[in-house]
Amino acid sequence: MSVGDYIRNSQVWKSIFRHPAPRDRRNRVVVMLTNVFLHLHPVSVRKSGIALSYTWCMGGLTFFMFLELTITGVLLMFYYRPTLEHAYNDILMLRDVATLGILRELHRWGAHAMVITIWLHMYRVFLTGSYKPPREFNWGVGVLLLVLTLLLSFTGYLLPWDQLAIWAITVGSNMARATPFLGHEGPGATFLQVGGVPLIHSGSDARFLLLGGRFVSGDTLLRFYVLHCVAIPLAVGVLIAVHFWRVRKDGGISGPM
């Protein structure tokens, strides 16, 4: 008996994998049904749908980037404190002292890559007309994922707390003060007043809500940190679950009728 057979016949192995190796047709079906992660997939799919030249694997790669960012993100959280006192220095430490010196790079370039792969995924879905019935709703779920992905990237951009960070966020969030009615420099805001007292001013408008202050400050850092590390990833996780579920319920990856 080879070592491999010995391991595969052990009680431990059998308790984990409840069937023989996926070498024949039956077990290749069983493996998909008994493993919770593989179970995201159907058992069999149309050949044209999984061709690389058809899907470009872009949805898969987007998901991979999300997982990679979750893992490296958790590791980064061990080193990083979202306060004016520590944020910048923690990033410096990460650069100069921490072992595995490419943690920050993996996270940053992964984030850039995810923005690119999600655009390409959407591009593919468009070019193959896969948003057409019955997949209209899942396209909409995808658009929300796109928005959340950009927001994830945007909130993360602030965290290093260097010049690049706060000014990019300042430029980006300046838009919010021009929100119609809800921004203090937005059209219509001047009309929202009670007895001559304006309701919308720089201390109460959309930008203030976003930043937690009149300008990018320590409160903004905390706000963006929580959004970046907890709120948005959770929302993305839930929507990805819906997205994958619907890919299957809508009849699997699209193909000609």
Partner 1 sequence: MSGTLDHSLQNGLGVYYLLVALMNVGFALYYQRYAEPRKPASATLWWAVAGFFALHAVAYGIFHAGWIMPKIIRTTVDRFADPISYTVLSVVGFAALLYWRKPLTRPQVAWGILMFSLLLGGWSFTDDNFRQIVAKEDNVPITMLIYSVGFFTWLGLYRAVQNDERMERGEPVLEKLEDEKVLVWPDLVYTELICMVIATVVLVVWSILLKAPLEQPATNAKAPNPSKAPWYFLGLQEMLVYFDPWMAGVVLPTLIIVGLIAMPYIDFNREGNGYYTFAQRKFAMVTFLFGFLVLWVVLIVLGTFLRGPNWNFFAPFEYWDPHKVLPLNNVNVSDIFWLQWLGTSPATVTFPGYSGSQLLNVIWRELPGLILVVGYLFVLPPLLAVTVFRKFFIKMGFIRYFVMINLLLFMASLPIKMVLRWSPLNLKYIVAMPEYFFNI
Task: Determine, following the binding rule CB under 6 A, whether residue 223 of this chain makes contact with ligand HEM.
Answer: no
Q: Which is nearer to ligand HEM, 88 or 137 (CB)?
A: 137
Q: Which is nearer to partner 1, 227 or 254 (CB)?
A: 254
- The span from the CA of 237 to the CA of 57, in Å, is 19
CB of 78 to ligand HEM, least distance (A): 25
Task: Determine, following the binding rule CB under 8 A, whether residue 71 of this chain makes contact with partner 1.
Answer: no
Task: Determine, following the binding rule CB under 6 A, whether residue 200 of this chain makes contact with ligand HEM.
Answer: no
Contact 66, 114 (CB under 8 A): yes
How is residue 256 written in tokens? 């000609």
Task: Determine, following the binding rule CB under 6 A, whether residue 66 of this chain makes contact with ligand HEM.
Answer: yes
User: Who's near 61: CB < 8 A, 6+ residues apart?
Assistant: 117, 121
- By CB under 6 A, the residues from 42 to 61 that bind ligand HEM are 55, 58-60
Task: Determine, following the binding rule CB under 8 A, whether residue 193 of this chain makes contact with partner 1.
Answer: no
User: Who's near 26: CB < 8 A, 6+ residues apart?
Assistant: none
Residue from 125, 158, 200, 210 touching ligand HEM (CB under 6 A): that is 125
Contact 227, 155 (CB under 8 A): yes
- The span from the CA of 225 to the CA of 83, in Å, is 10
CB of 126 to ligand HEM, least distance (A): 8
- Residue of 158, 153, 154, 151 lying closest to 222 (CA atoms): 158
- The span from the CA of 150 to the CA of 20, in Å, is 43
Task: Determine, following the binding rule CB under 8 A, whether residue 83 of this chain makes contact with partner 1.
Answer: no
CB of 92 to ligand HEM, least distance (A): 31
Task: Determine, following the binding rule CB under 6 A, whether residue 69 of this chain makes contact with ligand HEM.
Answer: no
Q: Which is nearer to partner 1, 6 or 24 (CB)?
A: 24
Q: Which is nearer to partner 1, 106 or 239 (CB)?
A: 106
- By CB under 8 A, the residues from 8 to 27 that bind partner 1 are 22, 25
CB of 86 to ligand HEM, least distance (A): 31
Q: Give the burial class of 217: count Cβ atoms within 10 A of its Cβ; 0-12 exposed, 13-18 middle, 19 or more buried.
A: middle
Q: How many CB atoms lie within 10 A of CB 256?
A: 7
Task: Determine, following the binding rule CB under 8 A, whether residue 171 of this chain makes contact with partner 1.
Answer: yes
